[in-house]
Amino acid sequence: MPSVSLPVHLLAAVLVATSIAAIAWRAHSLSGSGAFAAIIVGTAAMTSGWRWGALLVLFFITSSLLSRVRRARREDVTCGIIAKGGTRDAAQVLANGAVYALCAVLSVTLEGLASQQLALAALGALAAATADTWATEVGTVFGGMPRSIATWRTLPAGTSGAISLHGTVAMVAGATFIALSAAALGLATSVPLLVIAGIGGALADSLLGATVQERRWCATCERNTECRIHDCGAATVLVGGCVWVNNDGVNLVATVLGAAIAMLGTT
Ligand SMILES: [Zn+2]
């Protein structure tokens, strides 16, 4: 536990998390709701210890920077397909960061083996979130014509469940980056385990994205989309997947899986 008293530590954590969220909000990396969620997730992580906060910041900064690379091209490619753009809202922040923050808090609250396992679970969750986010950001603009991980048919870039060589390289790089950073911060002892957890979570994300995530169709534009109401203003119809499973739900499951793989890898 931190050496300073808890109220002081908590206050400092809130201040740092709020400052970072405010900068990200001003830079349009976070929406208003996204900034609010980031303050909660960031405060929880930093209250667990500065190293937990630092790792979260590394994930957040690299992901935000990657989503700025060729932003105009990304918006061109994904326009009308994905429901949300580069500005993250609360659901996106929580889908990527909630499992990490919750497990980090629990790991410093509990003791013994449970503490160690929850610390690993937190790291596995963040490795999965990073692997998936890096893969999505890189694959969308550099991945050319991707293929469905489930059917291997070519899909428009930006479609959930579509994978490409560039995106896959970025996925492995993202998992490795978090694993090495966690080791450098003294939070992790097994880099390979976290890399596997990150890759496993991100692959599950693609697989769920290609199968159970809802797929919709705009009859007016004759295009596949994830939006309930298309950019053209027309209501879209469900053509595949489950109606209540969106991208954020899939992301959340992927981080839970990343956490589970990291935790089970120790037993
Ligand atoms: Zn349309």
Q: Write the pLDDT tens digit of every residue in 64-106.
A: 999 988 888 888 888 888 888 779 999 999 999 999 999 999 9
Dist CA 226 CA 214 (whole Å): 7
- What is the Å distance from ligand 1's center to 161 Cα? 21
pTM as predicted = 0.94
Whether residue 227 is predicted with pLDDT greater than 90 in this model: the reply is no
Q: Which of 66, 248, 75, 220 lies closest to 160 in space, CA to CA?
A: 248
Q: Output the CA 236–ligand 1 centroid distance in Å.
A: 8
For residue 137 the two structure tokens come to 């950001």
CA of 156 to the centre of ligand 1 (A): 15
Give me ligand 1 centre to Cα 240, in Å: 17
Query: Ligand 1 centre from 68 Cα, in Å?
Result: 26
**If DSSP codes are grouped into helix, strand and coil, which group holds residue 157?**
coil
Q: What is the pLDDT of residue 248?
A: 94
pLDDT digits (tens, 9 = 90+) for 135-188: 999 999 998 899 999 999 999 888 899 999 999 999 999 999 999 999 999 998
Element (H, E) at 225: strand 223-225
CA of 194 to the centre of ligand 1 (A): 41
How many Å lie between the centroid of ligand 1 and the Cα of residue 232?
4
Listed as own residue / partner, the contacts of 144-147 with beta carbons closer than 8 Å and 24 or more positions apart are none
Top-confidence residue, 84 or 209: 209
The confidence score (pLDDT) of residue 81 equals 87
Q: Pull the structure tokens for residue 152.
A: 């291997």
Ligand 1 centre to CA of 190 (Å) is 48
Alpha carbon of 76 to ligand 1 centroid (Å): 15
Map tokens 């050496």 to a residue.
3
Residues across the chain: 267
What is the CA(6)–ligand 1 centre distance, in A?
A: 52
Nearest to 160 by CA among 126, 90, 234, 211: 211
Encode burial over 29-53: b for 16+ CB neighbours within 10 A, e otherwise: bbbeebbbbbbbbbbbbbbbbbbbb
Distance (Å) from CA 158 to ligand 1 centroid:
16
Q: How many Å lie between the centroid of ligand 1 and the Cα of residue 65?
A: 30
pLDDT for res 19:
96
